[in-house]
């Protein structure tokens, strides 16, 4: 599979299953409504597992601009492929959000709360505090990327790394995710947020663009710090 196609497919699968568990737990009249944070955390971990298992052997399954940038900073990924990878991740995230919306379309109509509809696609703070919210995203992404450095083979994750990286994301979600919804992935947040802004979702609110920079800048800062620390401690 072409590496860029693989990044698109991997991120697409991540978003269909990840946004899907958000919708399943949040929207009215689904059988899983109100099943809680544990279900969401496990759902996202399984989404990562599927995405990495499918795309890992072709593209390294970055499925996350922060991972791509972190690997490039650490010298584990060529800079001339960074733009192509991030572009495909963004398109995959947008397209996956569209499929999730189509799948749950009657349940969007049955749900009145516009905040819940927004929360299916993108993250937001449990307590609004700009610098604390930013720090949460930096810390979560630092742990993600720093640990990924010890899983990678060559320029990214192989399919055999799918289970360890899914447990890594599960741990971040269960331990740290309750503050901001743990985007830890600019494409995971920005692609769906753009979809929410453009899609004809009944009864939706504005897409909270005032917050949108935090789940983009925070993960990038966290990934660069992870790469620098990895180099400092003698990573290769």
Angle between helices 37-59 and 162-176 (to 10 degrees): 150
pLDDT mean across residues, the chain: 95
pTM of the model: 0.95
What is the tens place of the pLDDT at every residue in 114-132?
999 999 999 999 999 999 9
What is the tens place of the pLDDT at every residue in 165-174?
999 999 999 9
Of 83, 68, 23, the C-alpha closest to 47 is 23
pLDDT at 160 over 70: no
Residues 95, 181: contact at Cβ < 8 Å? Answer: no
Torsion (CA) 80, 223, 54, 87 in degrees, nearest 10: -40
The boundaries of the domain holding residue 96 are: 3-232
Number of domains in the chain: 1
What is the tens place of the pLDDT at every residue in 51-109?
999 998 899 899 999 999 999 999 999 999 999 999 999 999 999 999 999 999 999 99
**CATH code (residue 158):** 1.20.1080.10
- pLDDT > 90 fraction of the chain, expressed in percent and rounded: 91
């Amino acid at each position: 599979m072409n590496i860029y196609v693989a990044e698109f497919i991997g991120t697409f699968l991540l978003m269909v299953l990840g946004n899907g568990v958000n919708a399943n737990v949040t929207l009215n009249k689904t059988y899983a409504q109100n099943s809680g944070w544990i279900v969401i955390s496990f759902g996202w971990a399984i989404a990562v597992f599927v995405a990495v298992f499918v795309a890992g052997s072709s593209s390294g399954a970055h499925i996350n601009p922060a991972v791509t940038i972190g690997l490039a900073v650490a010298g584990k990924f060529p800079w001339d492929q960074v733009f192509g990878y991030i572009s495909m991740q963004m398109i995959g995230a947008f397209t996956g959000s569209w499929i999730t919306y189509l799948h749950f379309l009657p349940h969007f109509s049955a749900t009145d709360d516009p905040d819940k509809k927004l929360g299916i696609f993108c993250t937001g703070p449990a307590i609004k505090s700009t610098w604390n919210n930013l720090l949460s995203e930096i810390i979560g992404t630092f742990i993600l990327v720093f640990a990924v450095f010890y899983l990678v083979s060559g320029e990214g994750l192989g399919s055999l790394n799918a289970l360890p990286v899914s447990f890594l994301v599960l741990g971040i979600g269960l331990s740290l995710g309750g503050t901001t919804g743990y985007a830890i992935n600019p494409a995971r947040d920005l692609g769906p947020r753009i979809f929410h802004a453009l899609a004809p979702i009944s009864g939706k609110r504005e897409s909270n663009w005032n917050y949108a920079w935090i789940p983009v800048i925070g993960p990038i800062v966290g990934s660069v710090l992870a790469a620098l620390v990895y180099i400092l401690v003698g990573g290769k």
